[in-house]
Every structure is written in structure tokens, then in C-alpha cells.
Structure 1
Amino acid sequence: MTSRMASSELKENLEDEKMLLTRGLKSLLPHVLRRIIRLNRLSISNTSGMAEGYKQANVVILHKSLADDFEKFCHANDGPLPLLYRSQPGDWKCPSLSSDSDIRTDCLQYRVYEHGVCTGSLKSLKEYSEQLKDMVTFYLGCSFSFEKAVLSAGIPVRNVEQKCNVSMYKTAVPCYSVSPFCCNLVVTMRPIPESKLEAAVLATSELKEAHGAPIHMGDPGLLGIQDLSKPDYGDPVHLHPGDIPVFWACGVTGAEAVINCRAPLAFTHSPGCMFITDLKNNNVGSLRGVPQVHCISQDPLHFSIVSAEAAQKIKTLETLIGIDPGDRGIIHLQRQDELLKACLAISHARSVLITTGFPTHFTYEPPEENDGPPGALAIAAILQALEKEVAIVTDQRAMDLNKKIIEEAVQLGILKKPIPLLNYQRESADSALMFLCDNGNSGRPRYDHLIAIERAGMAADGNYYNARKVNIKHLVDPIDELFLAAQTISGVTTTGVGDGGNELGMGKVKDAVKKHIKNGDVIACDVEADFTVVAGVSNWGGYAIACALYVLRTCEVHDRYLRKAVGFPQSSQKMVWLSALPSVSKEEKLLKTLVRHGVRSGKTASLEMEVDGLPFYNTHSLMIEKLLQEVQK
């Protein structure tokens, strides 16, 4: 009987080896591969490319006393740690994942951890069988599982092409902690041709149990990764010309958590040496909405993700504010998707600096018009609700006026708290850099994004003009220099909002201003912003930015990308964000405040309830209602 069994097993093993030689690893069934791995017949270092279309799993083995907390840690960080199966203590099988497995032998290689220190690598855990009786095995999803979907989408998998393990890196992104488990996120990197980025996102976004969509695309420094050629785990994978580094959450995060918890004894698979399951890699609908990819920065290179549904809402907002009630010809200045790209960049920003103020009424005191401040405060209010740092920079002569406006905005419930009010003066050649960066160090900017809304912009001759070609330079501080300096600082992006072409940031469309706007050849602003939002009234641009930021923050696709697939969605904050948006009531009260302080309508200089000569009710109030209706659809 024993002889017949041995003969049968030998025959089976010979058949396995024959299949291995003739068919290759990628087409073998999982149970065959596990058997070959169990017999230690493979001289390879990782399982990438094996058993195409089947799920592979990261493995973490912990003492049963830690199991409940580790499971909570997985649920709290399901991007890097999608839980496929949790065993009972001492159970070496996983019946829901495979029919004939033994976790002690079925990974290519294991790591042993004692008190948080890796003390060795093993081909088998059988020598620890006694200890394993009190231990629980966690099987966690792996990005190797999505490789077939990526290949099927016509996207190269460079590490398979280069016959090496995938690159894995520790990041500066903290996971959500569940005591005693805390660590930073680990990611895999795959070079993807820029033209294939959206296809790569589409191919992986629904595969939640294989980590789902990428969590970052572009400069590795934004994740705290200093050198792609030196991965923390795995092998360096070389980028081809035109490739973009794309990062997915990685199950090796679990190993980092094991190290930090300092358990007396724990085991994991060796990075890249996965457990191969019998389960096909089916879509499980991890995200709502088809994702789109947009480039939001060239220095550093940075792409963002948003659902098609959210993107369409923001495009509709852009269309709504693009009407031209003053018949100025602004349709010729508009650039498609600038609102979307600007707001994606702002959404990723930690700290935002806003400027406004157009002293067009040079014969009055104060000379400011009332287009600009309401839009600026609308943006500031949603930024506060999103818990971003925000400050306002304005002219020295207007500091007291703006301080009073901000104080009253807090009293009216428009702002949650006062906003720091700053002034900029040019004292030396590096004044702008000193203002924007800690000690003038361009590697340490204080702000990630600058926004100018209805802010007088410098023309090509160095002067500042109102729409009637009157030079108002004597009333304007050189805040343009901050936007010019921002162009030289990596990681700082800018947005300009305007309605006539003479506003700060409109330099991006100055040729169209000169051609299509009255007096454009003289008044056109020469200073560019990265993104230019053109509106019929600049306040509308501010309202639209606030609404678009709300749309992005409530978009599941974008939210996951923002938080790098760690932690939980902040859906409980939705009402807080919604209440921070402009409303007819709030904007009416603010406009009355401006009128009381002598801030006049831009076109007529009247102290009435109007902006740019247009009545608040049935013009501005109607626009606010339309924007709010769109975001709440």
C-alpha cells in the first residue's frame, strides 16, 4: 500500500516537473504550483507572473492574542491589507481559498520575526509546528493578482518583462493605527507608459482584493521615497522612456506592522513569495464610478484620479459660471477643464494662500470693488471645513478693511474661525521666496497652492490697469511677485480667477485678452497661473471652486486616492462640508457688510446690493442656487 502511494506520488511529481518544463509557470494551475513549491523544486525568487488570473496572497502569522487587533488594523487599512481569510488558531489550511494547502510549506520562502526583528528566512515552517498551534494566519490580497488584468488591457508589466521581483518601498504615509499595530504604508511600483495611465487605473480599480486602484502616480518624493533605484523590498525595476512610476498599496505593510508590534514570535511570507490560491481574480466593485486621470503638476510630476461622474459635475459648474452677463467676450478666454484641474490640485494641497482686491475705484475710499472678497471667503470657508491651512494676503493699505470683513464673516457664520491676514512688500530680490518658504528654502514651501481671485494683475509694462485703462499701480502691492516666485518652487501650484483678463493669473490667456477684450492690448495681465478659471463674475468662480472641492471630497474614487487607501472615508463630515458652501443667505449678508464698509460695485461704483452692476437677487442669487443644485444632485 505504502509502496503504491510512494510510486503514485513520484509519478505525480514527475508529471509536475514535465508540466513545468513544457507549459511554464504562468499557465499552471494553483494546486500544481503549490505542490511544486511544497517540494522545493523551484529555483525562482518570486511568484510574480505565476498562475495568471488567480489570486495570490500575502501571509501574516501571529499569536492568537493579537489576532483580533490585527484584523481591525486590516479593516482600517483595507487598501494595503485586503483580508481574504483569517484562520482559526493552529489551522494550517484555508478551505475557502484552496482545497489542499498547508501554510507551513506552500510559500516559496518565509520570514521569522522575534520581538520585531527579522531573525531569518526559511523554506518551511514545519519546525515551528508546535508554536503554530497557538497562532492565527491572515491571508491578504496581493497586487500580483491583477497582473493578468493589466496585461489584458495592453499594459506592459515591466518587472515580469525584466524577470525580476516587483519594487517595494516604505513611504512616509502613516496607516490608521490600531494598538499595538502601527506603521507607515508600503507600496509597490510599476512603471506605466503615460498614455496607459487611465487604462491601468481602470484595469485595477475594481480589483479590491488585489489592492484596487493606484494610490499615487508620479514623483516618488511625494510619498517620501527618495530613490527608486533602491527599493526596501524586491528588486529595482527600470522605467522605459515615457514611463510614469505608478504606486499601489502593498501587503508588505503587514510585515512592517509586525515589526512595530514587537511580538515575541511572528511569521510572514518573504516579499514577493506569495501564497497562490485557487480563486479566480474576479471584479468585486471596490469603487463607485469610472475613474479618470488628470495631470495636476509637472514639477513635481503628479497625476490625480476622479470619477467620471464627479468630473462631469465640475464641468457643469464650469459651464454655469462661464456665461457672460457683461458681454465682455470672456468666452474667448475660457479653457476647458481648468476648474477641474485647479480644484484637483487644491484638493491635494495642505496649505493654501488666497489673494484678492481690485482697487478700480481710485477716486473713492476705500477704492475696492465688491467682486472678489465674497468669492475668496467662499473658498476659504470650504478649505477650513476640509481642515486645510488657509491664509489671505492683501495690500497694506487694505489690511484694516479686510480684518473687519473677516471678523464679520466669522460672526455671520461664513467662516468657522478668523483667517490669518498677511501683507507682502518687496524689500529685496528674494523677498517673495522668503515669504513663501521657510527661511527662503525652496525645499520647504509654506503653501502648496496660491489662488488669486479678482486681484489686480500686472500688465506687460509693469503697471496695473482697471478695465478703462486707468493705471492704479499706486494702490497695488506687488503680490504678483509671489505668483512669479511660485513658478520656480517645486510643489507649489497656482490658480487665477478672473472675468476680464486684467486679473492676476490671466497671463495664461493674455493673447486672447489682447485680441478679444476691450482695451486688452493695454490691460492684459502678463503674469500666468498654472490654472485659469474664467467666469462671468469672478465671485462665481470662487463659488464654483468651493462647490467643486465639495464634489471632489465626496467622490469615493478621489477620496480613496487622497488618503492613499489607508484609514476610513470621512463620510460623516459630509454635512460639515455642505454647510461650509456659499448660500444665498450667507452671500446676501456678506454683500450688505461690504456695502456698509463702503465697498462698491465694480461697474457702477454704486453702494447697492449689486456686483459688477448686476443685482444680487435674480442674478447672483440665482447663480448660487444653480451651483448648489448641481453639487447636490
Structure 2
Amino acid sequence: MKIGCARGQNWRITAGGASPEDPGMLSVRFLKSVLPASARSLIRAGRLRAAGTSAVSQGFKQANIVIVNKQFADDFEKFCLANNGPLPLLYRSKPGEWSSPILTATSDIRTDCPQYRKYEGGNVTGNLNSLVEYTQQLKDMVTFYLGCSFSFESAVLEAGVPIRNVEQGCNVSMYKTSIPCIGIGSFQCNMVVTMRPIPVDKLEAAVQVTHPMEDAHGAPVHIGHPGIIGIEDLSSPDFGDAVEVQPGDALVFWACGVTGGEAVRSCKSPLAFTHAPGCMFITDLRSEQEVDSSCAADSETPRVFCISQNPSHYSIASVAAVEKIKALETLIQQDPGNRGIKHLLIEDELLKASLSLSHAKSVLITTGFPTHFNHQPPEETDGPPGAIAMAAMLQALKKSVVIVTDQRALKMNKKIIEEAVEQGVMKTPVPIVSFQDDGEDSALKFLCHDGNPQFPRFDHLIAIERAGMAADGNYYNARKVNIKHLVDPIDKLFQTAEDIPGIVTTGIGDGGNELGMGKVKEAVKKYIHNGDLIACDVKADFAVIAGVSNWGGYAVACALYTLNTCTIHERYLRKAVGFPKTSEMDRCIPALPTVSKEEKLLEVLVKHGIRSGKTGNLGMEVDGLLFHDTHSSMINQLMDITLGQVQSN
């Protein structure tokens, strides 16, 4: 039962268990249940001055406040609309309007926040308990009421997710970030976020509860290491209080309405006001607390996955996108060569690798398996098509892509890329480079600017059908032939990347002797023919297993397209600033693999003397399987899952 506040009582706040019947004491328990109108009365009467409103009037929406002169109001409204994540607009007042009729039955913005901030020329010049003395100036000012994450706290608690700052009786932690908002007029600033430590096993529940509550900032904009979004010292929040993180907690960051204060600073208006951080305006509107028990099965429900351990980083995608990528993964796991790859499979590796790639800005790809040591060139037709398919999609997503290959094959691969562009297989050329182990720090210098691990050149390394080093330091084809003399030590890049925070690695293979398959080495040794000798010893963070490695490359391209057409994932990528870009993904459809493009590319490879891996045939086949209809059928099935229709040849 909701209770109000009796008149004449002189309440004070205590984090302890004192009851509201104790004169002069206002317990946290009482604050949770007090009705909004009563809470505003307490504030107006000076009983809750400078008090944070987290957990006050639980179940009701709270609002951030920004008050600017009417000459700035239109631009600020546009700024809010362009940055809806941190600044969800609940109500814009008329000039000189103290009330907020769609938010409260009775209120007065001059008195109903526990504390305000005053800005002059972009500087904070004081904290105020009331704005009544500025009544004359406020007649020419407009008040913006913006959604607040305090509004979702009761729903999060009802879902069984703890809120640490409420447990600890303190304000939420708020931090300035390196995430730029979309600038409008004189409003230019970076986003401010709130941080709530959430137990890892409760992450998905917290995301699913907050996702639909867009007027309270919606789903998180970042989960993981604070440095990824420019926060250097978690123990020193820019606003609010430092919250103690418990063992097993992940750091979860939501967009924050205090961003409005940063925008006011950038505007440098002669006079402006905001609420003091954490001291919100409490509305009469109920929060969305009812969560449909069937939401976990809804196609637009968010799922959460860890995509990096060093540093910790999680990503989000919808159930629909996840299930589509799982279907892609299942499809490519057909084993036409009967190699026993089912024993190497790890669930969701394609999904996690693709999520990580979706966040990457710069990607390094390597391929090349010189299995035909008696021929020139010794390469096979498996690998390059999958590498180029991934590169084409990464390019379409505006990511930097570089391919690294053996020095002896550099000229040939550059020519293949040129002809791939001429044939329309990819839009623009990809730089082709080589790597030589010229000293102790050669790999570090290759991967990082000036050899400094704090500044990596690449976010993600991918190896697809790339010969991998075995435990004895040699490189073997499936028939146990040592081909070390044909292989440059690109493995060292993957080994070095293990110790560089921010670089994620993926290996794509079909037999266990490929670079990155060290992650499943024991299974390779046990189940794959000759595995005890040929098994790659170098691991990757993610091991994508496919019946033919090219299929894995095609699936990654399809998964990247799927993720970037997912509104939930796309919002998380852009950190809820700017406008949705999923509609722009039509430009990426031409980057998807098709039967026509892959047939042209295979013809280019054959022209350069590159042979089928299993048979050594110089013809339209890969791993001894004819392009028509084995590989063409696989491509069509992948497109059927990705686009919902089979692509014509």
C-alpha cells in the first residue's frame, strides 16, 4: 500500500532501518513507498534537500531537468532528438511554465528538485535549493524534462537483479565518456553514463528489463571495461558516488541525462539551470514494471554475450539475429569430407566472433595453405574466397581491412585482389602485406603503433584456412607432409596478440591444422586423422569450424550483415546516439557472397594456377568438391537464411 507524508513532520533521511514513525527520521523503506506528490511536498518543504532520489517513490518515473533561455530551446530539442539515448524527451514546457501537465497533476519546477545547478557562460556557478529567486528570468526560459534511469530501478529489482548503490545507500556513479553526441548548433558534448555493477548471471535479465524502457534510457550502451568508453578511473566518478563492485559483477553503463548538463556547458548561455546529478524531478507517471513472462522468446528480445576477456567486453543482439546466426553456424558444419569435425565444435563461436568483428574498426585477415608443395604456386582454392568474402563485407561496413600473407605469394595475391575488384567480387582493393620475424619485438611492432601495446593497429585478427604451427614448430598438411619452408611465421602475430589488450583473434578451419585451431587442439589430436602430429598448437579466442573453410568465411560475412540489420545490436554499436542506420544496410547487400561472384573468383584463382586442396585438380572445385552444385548450393542456402530468399545465379 502506498503511503503519503503527514503534514508538519520534520523528516530527515537515514540509510538505516529507522521507521517513519520515529519523529525527525525518514527511512529508506519509507522513501521507496512514498507517493510522488508527497515526495515533491517533502522536497518543496526542504525536508529532502540535496538528497539523491534513487529508490525514492519506486515504481514512478523520474526526470532530468534542463532549463535554457527560449532562444536556445529549439536547438536543444533537436539535440535531444538526435541523442535520444541519453536525452529521452518527456516534456518541453512553454516559456515561463512552472508545471508539467502531462507528467504531474501538481508541480512547480522552481521548487520540486532536491537541488539545482546554476550555469553562467558555460560554468557551474553554484548549487541551489530553489529557483524561486529567479522567477523573473525563468519567464523567458524553457524547461526540458528528460527520462532518467532511476525510473527503471524498481523493475530491475523485481527481476531479481540487485542495484548496488541502493544496497549501499549512496548515489549512482556517473562518468564522462569519450562517446561524442551528435552536435546541434552550439550544443556539442560527450555522453555521460551511469554505472551499475550487475552480477554476470543477471546481465541478460537487466538488459531485457531496461531494453523496452526507452524513455528511461533503454538498454545499456556499454557492458565491460570502462576504458573502452574513455573512463580512466572508476573509483573517481565525475558525478554521484563511487559504488563498490562485488566479486562476480560486470560493469554496466547506461546513457545518462546528466549529458544535458554537459550540453549546457558547451552552449555557454548567460544563464541556465539543471537538476544536481542524482537529485531528480519525480513524476506521477508509473514506470513500466510489468515484464511479459514470454519476453525471452520474443524475436526482438536482447541477448547478451561476452566477446572479449582482455579487456572485458560484452555485446548485445536480438533473439532473431542470434537464431539466424546459429542457423548459419549449423549449416556450415556439414562434413562432406567425413573428417569428424563434429568433435571440434564449440557452440556460438561464429556468433561471438562476428559480434566482436562488428565492434572492430580495423581487421587483419590472413589465409594461405601451401599444401601442394610440388606445384607452383602451392596454394589451394580453400581460404582466399572466404577471406575476400569477409573483407568485402567489412569494407561495406566502413572498417579498415588489411590482408597479410607469405612474402613469396605477395605479388600473386595482389593480382588476385585486383582481378577480384575488376570482376565485381569486391568494391575496392584491400592492402596486401607480409610479415617477417626479424627480431624479438617484430610482431609487437607489426601489430601496434611504435610497438606500444596501448595503441594496437588492429582490433581483430582472422585466420582462415591458414597453415598453423604444430607443437613441434613445424607446419603440416593433412597427409603429414612438413611444409614449413613455404610458410611465413604469421602465427607469431596471433601469439603476440594474446598479451595485447583490445586485440581479439578468430581462427576458421576445417581440419584442425589451421592457425587458431589450437583452441580445440586436444579434440583434434583425439578425433582427426593424423591429429596427434598435425594439430595446430596456436589458439585463437574463437574457433569457427566448418566443413570447408570458405563456408566459414561466407558465414561470417552473412553474420555481420545480420547483426548490422538488427536494431538492438545497431543501437548498442552507436551507443544510442544519432539515428538508426539499419535502413542504410541495403548498401551492404552487394557485399554478400553470391554464386555468381564466387564462381568468378574461383575462375580467377584457377587462372593463377591455384588448385583444389584434396585432389590437386586445377579446376572449378574446392577440397575435392565441385563448385556446382556443392559450393553453389551452400552459398544459396546461406543467402536463404540471411535474406530470406535464395539468390539467383
- Residue 199 (structure 1) shift: 1.1
Q: How does 1:34-433 map to 2 (within 5 A)?
A: 34-43=40-49, 45-282=51-288, 289-433=300-444
Residue number in structure 2 paired with 1:4: none
Q: Does 1:585 align with 2:599?
A: no
- Residue 11 (structure 1) shift: 7.8
Deviation sequence 1:590-613 (CA, Å, 0-9, x none): 011111111111111111111111
Q: Is the 8 A contact 1:207 1:284 kept in 2?
A: no
Question: Which residue identity does 1:196 align to in structure 2?
Answer: K
Distance 1:604 1:249 in 2: 56
Question: Which residue identity does 2:114 align to in structure 1?
Answer: L
Residue number in structure 1 paired with 2:17: none
Q: Is the 8 A contact 2:299 2:319 kept in 1?
A: no
Deviation sequence 1:426-445 (CA, Å, 0-9, x none): 11011111100011111111
Gaps of 5+ in 1: 1-9
Q: Is the 8 A contact 1:288 1:556 kept in 2?
A: no
Paired residue secondary structure (1:24): helix
Residue number in structure 2 paired with 1:554: 565
TM-score by length of structure 2 reads: 0.94
Q: Does 1:480 align with 2:491?
A: yes
Residue number in structure 2 paired with 1:516: 527
Distance 2:535 2:486 in 1: 18
Task: Evaluate the alpha carbon distance shift between residue 543 and residue 504 of structure 1 in structure 2; reply closer, same or farther with a 3 A threshold.
Answer: same
Distance 1:519 1:195 in 2: 40
Distance 1:469 1:158 in 2: 57
Instruction: Pick from 622, 625, 628 the counterpart of residue 617 of structure 1.
Output: 628
Question: Which residue identity does 2:229 align to in structure 1?
Answer: L
Distance 2:172 2:346 in 1: 40
Paired residue secondary structure (1:296): strand
Instruction: Pick from 490, 494, 510 the counterpart of residue 499 of structure 1.
Output: 510
- Residue 571 (structure 1) shift: 2.2
Distance 1:26 1:516 in 2: 59
Question: Which residue identity does 2:221 align to in structure 1?
Answer: I
Q: Is the 8 A contact 2:50 2:115 kept in 1?
A: no
Distance 1:68 1:21 in 2: 41
TM-score by length of structure 1 reads: 0.96
Distance 1:567 1:224 in 2: 19
Residue number in structure 2 paired with 1:6: none
Q: Is the 8 A contact 1:432 1:481 kept in 2?
A: yes
Q: How does 1:451-462 map to 2 (within 5 A)?
A: 451-462=462-473
Paired residue secondary structure (2:264): helix
Deviation sequence 1:242-273 (CA, Å, 0-9, x none): 11111100000010011011111111000001
Q: Does 1:564 align with 2:570?
A: no
Question: Which residue identity does 2:204 align to in structure 1?
Answer: E
Instruction: Pick from 485, 489, 492 the counterpart of residue 500 of structure 2.
Output: 489
- Residue 560 (structure 1) shift: 1.1
Deviation sequence 1:258-301 (CA, Å, 0-9, x none): 10111111110000010000000127999971111111111101
Question: Which residue identity does 1:187 align to in structure 2?
Answer: V
Q: Is the 8 A contact 2:59 2:289 kept in 1?
A: no
- Residue 507 (structure 1) shift: 0.6
Paired residue secondary structure (1:477): coil
- Residue 340 (structure 1) shift: 0.5
Deviation sequence 1:468-506 (CA, Å, 0-9, x none): 111111110000000000001011110000011110001
Q: Is the 8 A contact 1:288 1:557 kept in 2?
A: no
Distance 1:264 1:550 in 2: 47
Task: Evaluate the alpha carbon distance shift between residue 281 and residue 225 of structure 1 in structure 2; reply closer, same or farther with a 3 A threshold.
Answer: same
Distance 1:11 1:143 in 2: 29
Q: Does 1:606 align with 2:612?
A: no
Distance 1:480 1:551 in 2: 30
Q: Is the 8 A contact 2:11 2:47 kept in 1?
A: no
Distance 1:568 1:462 in 2: 51
- Residue 44 (structure 1) shift: 5.3
Distance 1:632 1:178 in 2: 36
**How much identity, in percent, do the aligned residues show?**
65
Paired residue secondary structure (1:198): helix
Residue number in structure 2 paired with 1:595: 606
Deviation sequence 1:319-374 (CA, Å, 0-9, x none): 00000011111111111111001111111111100000011111111111010000
CA RMSD of aligned residues (A): 1.7
Distance 2:270 2:285 in 1: 33
Distance 1:21 1:426 in 2: 69
Question: Which residue identity does 1:443 align to in structure 2?
Answer: Q
Q: Is the 8 A contact 1:354 1:391 kept in 2?
A: yes
Residue number in structure 2 paired with 1:443: 454
Q: Is the 8 A contact 1:207 1:283 kept in 2?
A: no
Distance 1:562 1:270 in 2: 29
Distance 1:95 1:140 in 2: 14
Residue number in structure 2 paired with 1:541: 552
Deviation sequence 1:565-603 (CA, Å, 0-9, x none): 111111232111121111111101101111111111111
Q: Is the 8 A contact 2:117 2:273 kept in 1?
A: yes
Distance 2:624 2:351 in 1: 28
Q: Is the 8 A contact 1:16 1:32 kept in 2?
A: no
Residue number in structure 1 paired with 2:640: 629
Deviation sequence 1:12-48 (CA, Å, 0-9, x none): 4449997785861110110111011011112552111
Question: Which residue identity does 1:281 align to in structure 2?
Answer: S
Q: Is the 8 A contact 1:168 1:187 kept in 2?
A: yes
Q: Is the 8 A contact 1:206 1:284 kept in 2?
A: no
Question: Which residue identity does 1:225 align to in structure 2?
Answer: I
Q: Is the 8 A contact 2:43 2:113 kept in 1?
A: yes
Distance 1:514 1:38 in 2: 73
Q: Does 1:532 align with 2:543?
A: yes
Q: Is the 8 A contact 1:296 1:302 kept in 2?
A: yes
